Amino acid sequence: MRNPESAIEMMVLVSGIGYSNLGDMSFGRVLLSTLAEMDWPAHVHVEDLNYGPIMIYQTLEASPIKYDKVVLVGAAKRERKPGTLEIYRWHGKLPEDSEIQARIEEAITGVIDLDNLLIVCKHFGVLPDDVTIVEVEPQTEAWGLEFSSVVAAKVDEAIQAVRDQAFCNN
Amino acid sequence: MCFKNLPIEFDAQGNAQLIGGVANPYAYTPREIKRDKLEELLARNGHIKDVSISPVTRVAGALSFHAVADLQERKFLEANSVATIFRGYEVILKGRDPRDAIYISSRACGVCGGVHSTAACEAIEMAFGISPPPLGTVLRNIALSLDFLYDHPLHLFLLAGPDYSQVVVEATNPAMWEKAQVTDAPNAEVHQFKTIGDIMKGLNPLSGKLYLDGLKMTRTPREAYSVLFGKYPHPQTVVPGGMSSTVTITDFNETYTRLQKMIDWTKRMILLWDDLTEFFYDYNPEYKKVGARDKNMIDLGMWDDPDSYDATYARCNDWGEARWATPGVVIDGKLVTTKLQQINLGLEEFVEHSYYENWSQNGVRFKTDPSGAPLSPNHPWNKETMPRPSKESWKDRYTWSTAPRWDRQVVEAGAYARIWTTAAAGLMPKNRFLESTGHSLKINMPKTMLPEMDFEWKIPDVWNAFERNRARAYCMGYNLMVAYSMVLKAFDYLRKGEDKVSTKFETPQDERIGVGFWGAGRGYLSHHLTLDKGVITNYQIVTPSTFNASPHDPFGNPGPYEEAVLNTPIIEDYSKPEEFTGVDMLRAIRSFDPCMPCTTHIYGGEREIVREVNTCACSAEG
């Protein structure tokens, strides 16, 4: 169901993924709070998706709204220089079945993780083709409320990137 | 007299006291683990192999397992259960406002955080001297039934289930798969799987109908949980003295509707696990030995009777026995106590093979419990969590789990222990749907699409991996009818205008002591705390997996996982060691429902099973 007030607009889902209080790894979770307080047009929905990928897939599956685009922000360790900010369209390729099974098992036991969310939701067919990731390389993942300086320096840029992507129709 | 090892006796009035004339009543001499002969065999014989199941942990605690297998004799010679991560909730909670324990301890588990919140609340209520109004207790009971209606299907169909799926059985025992395809399932008319082979196909990961339905069915109890408690799995609404949810008759109606949705599915699941279990037994009676161990188990009971629970230690035996799950300890298949005080007095934790310092040099804080009964220096109220990381050694220290014991005996915890103690005690409050007979639990499930049906879980003659899983399936029906009964009770209270769900309280500033006797999806859960000047001075959590994943104790006894693996015959087919998969061992371990999902593969040449584990860490300390 598309929003009647924005019938020609794509429905966009925006969220930040990560645990609370886990230093740089909480990047998505912390930015989500900021994003949620911003003004957005009716066709962009900012939602908290930090309650487990299985529950998210089930919620999206049951939802009458079918999103055309998803923009997710978070931190992921991918051996880049700490503080590196990457904005990319997710390839949408699923790993082997055994790996999907492992991600489902993690998800049902409460693991909140960007890759898990993508794999589980893609496997169950609730993600659109257009999924954009705004992702920072963390420097630390120690317990704490603060970001490292290199990650903190990317906050504004990441928020702007999420907004740009949410408003971008391709 | 429930103790045979601890130096405690009871007078005619049932008051506990130390047996006179014993100089150091709780003293013991630790036994060494000897493995020289084993090391020699490992070096000499090609068919005796080290099998290491190693974790790769991403988020929380983890389990790994080490075993030595004799692939010629088809048996295990050594087994070591290893909790690889220290979590330290006890350390985090020291010095905090006791109410923080509700929310912080909840994070010990990503599946059933609410059980920790509730155990923390009950400990605080005992320490504060408050208790919830009846509807507050009923609400908690509903929450902690719904929690398990999420938890058990996960285990039965997503975690343990695949061990019995076509893909696993066909690969590890092709002849059995052939037989399964032509064996009619006795209860097919109800569960709609014509043959055992069809059930096995249904259990196939990702594609099987049972796997997918199990996953789908987790949504229903979670929805009801969220309606009543705001969110899952870490409710913010469990508070000392009750609940902070604002509930109306509509909320209970919504819960009732969702419970109705689960009734027929549960009927089918119980019969399906009956069929699967009996097929394995018929095919090869050796399967009765998989995961077998002594019938020794422990449970604290749960689901308080709203008219009995007053949170006092002095009356804990009374309100404990009034619970909808009866507390109890089973030794050699016999129920030896149903009294919470006795269960508490018998509890000790040992750390000889764990990465902790013994705390005895700090003296004994409590020589007695609040009723004046003798308390061991090794009891959680006297324990201090003192991490001591060191090198892994199978002879010395090898895990972050402690070794909890009851009366210095190895007991296991689980949903199955809960149904066992309840069935054996015959103390279930009178109600329409559940009846404890002393040897079984009768479960009446009302008509929905399927007709009204009666089930009876009978205390089994054998105790093994299959019976753990079967009992867990029956626990689905048990939990469901507890939740159903509690919703009906809630309607009654609302009809009478008794809609209060919490009690006011103030945090006391003097020294206090408390314990939350509760249960997780996986069984026994206790939170012991002491307070002074309004803050926590000591906090100790013992989870079911602390019992089950425990290492050897100082008396030379292996922990439950370890013992179950040592008793497991290697039944799977292999013609050369490289084909060994370890499926029988994994069935044994997984039947306990350890707090971790896992993926397993074997590097043939190295004999190393690498298993990626991500867990709620119930097996880790705290």
pLDDT tens track for B250-303:
999 999 999 999 999 999 999 999 999 999 999 999 999 999 999 999 999 999
Residue of A97, A103, A106 to mutate for B, most B C-beta atoms under 10 A: A106
Task: Confirm if B423 and B459 have CB atoms less than 8 A apart.
Answer: yes
CATH code matching the domain that covers A4-167, chosen among 3.30.420.240, 3.40.980.10, 3.40.50.1450, 3.60.10.10: 3.40.50.1450
Cβ pair B218:A54 closer than 8 A: yes
Q: What is the DSSP letter of B157?
A: I
Length of chain B: 622
**Residues A111, B614: C-beta atoms closer than 8 Å:** yes
**At a CB cut-off of 8 Å and minimum separation 6, what does B579 contact?**
B573, B604
How far apart, in whole angstroms, are the C-alpha atoms of residue B83 and residue B550?
8
**B 44-103 → A contacts, CB under 8 A:** 58-59
Structure tokens at B613: 């584990």
| Mean pLDDT for the stretch of residues A35-58 | 93
Taking CA–CA distances from B597, the nearest residue in chain A reads: A105
Tell how strand B16-18 and strand B48-57 pair up: unpaired
Q: Which residue has the tokens 């000591």?
A: B538
Q: For residue B600, what is the enclosing H or E element?
A: strand B598-603
Distance CA B89, CA B107 (A): 9
Tokens at residue B395, please?
């002879």
* Subunit contact B111:A113, Cβ cutoff 8 A: no
Cβ-count burial of B452 within 10 angstroms (0-12 exposed, 13-18 middle, 19+ buried)?
A: exposed
pLDDT of residue B281: 98
Helix ranges, A67-113 (H)? 97-108
A125 to chain B, any CB pair closer than 8 A? The answer is: no
pTM over cut 0.90:
yes
Q: What is the DSSP letter of B99?
A: T
Cβ <8 Å between B612 and A102: yes
Distance from the A164 Cα atom to the nearest Cα atom in chain B, whole angstroms: 32
**Alpha helices by DSSP H, B284-414:** 316-321, 340-345
Contact A97 B596 (CB under 8 A): no
- Structural domains in chain B, CATH included, are 46-613 (1.10.645.10)
Alpha-helical runs (H) found in B154-218 = 166-172, 174-181, 188-191, 196-202, 209-217
Sheet holding B63-70, edge to edge: B75-83, B63-70, B48-57, B608-613, B598-603
Rounded CA-CA distance B438/B440 in Å is 6
Residue B595, class by beta-carbon neighbours within 10 Å (0-12 exposed, 13-18 middle, 19+ buried)? buried
Burial of A64 (0-12, 13-18, 19+ CB in 10 A): exposed
Per-residue pLDDT at A45 exceeds 50:
yes
- φ, ψ for residue B502 (rounded to 5)? -145, 165
Inter-chain CB pairs, A–B, below 8 Å = 64
Rounded to the nearest angstrom, the minimum Cα separation between B109 and chain A is 8
pLDDT at position B54, please? Answer: 59
Which residues in chain B touch residue A123, judged by CB atoms under 8 angstroms apart?
206
Of all residues in chain B, the one with the smallest CA distance to A55 is B219
b/e per residue B226-260 (b: at least 16 CB within 10 A): ebbbeebbbbebbbbbbbebebeeebbeebbebbe
Rounded Cα distance between B152 and B476, Å, is: 7
Nearest-angstrom CA–CA distance, B529 and B257: 38
Residues of chain A in contact with residue B229, where contact means CB-CB under 8 angstroms, are none
Closest Cα partner for B123 from B146, B136, B105, B144? B105
Residues of chain B with pLDDT under 70: 54-62, 596-622
Residue with tokens 């923080």: B100
Per DSSP (E only), the strands in B245-327 are 297-299
Phi, psi of B584 (to 5 degrees): -65, -40
B226 close contact with A: CB closer than 8 A: no
Please, are residues B374 and B367 in contact by the beta-carbon 8 Å criterion? yes
Contact check, Cβ <8 Å, B216/A58:
yes
B328: helix, strand or coil: strand
Q: Residue B222: how many CB atoms within 10 A of its CB?
A: 23
- In the DSSP assignment, the letter for residue B577 is G
Q: How many whole angstroms separate alpha carbon A98 and alpha carbon A104?
A: 10
Chain A hits for B598, CB-CB cut-off 8 Å, are: 105
Res. A8 pLDDT band, cuts 50 70 90: low
Does residue B535 sit at the A interface (CB-CB below 8 Å)? no
The order of strands in the sheet holding B453-458 is: B434-436, B440-445, B453-458
Whether the CB-CB separation of B371 and B313 falls below 8 Å is answered with yes
* pLDDT recorded at residue B363: 83
A52, A62, A111 ranked by CB distance to B59: nearest:
A111
Q: Give the pLDDT score at B291.
A: 98
Three-state DSSP state, A66: coil
Integer CA distances (angstroms), A86 to A12, A115, B238, in order: 20, 15, 41
Tell me the three state secondary structure of residue A53: helix
Q: Give residue A145's Cα distance to chain centre.
A: 20
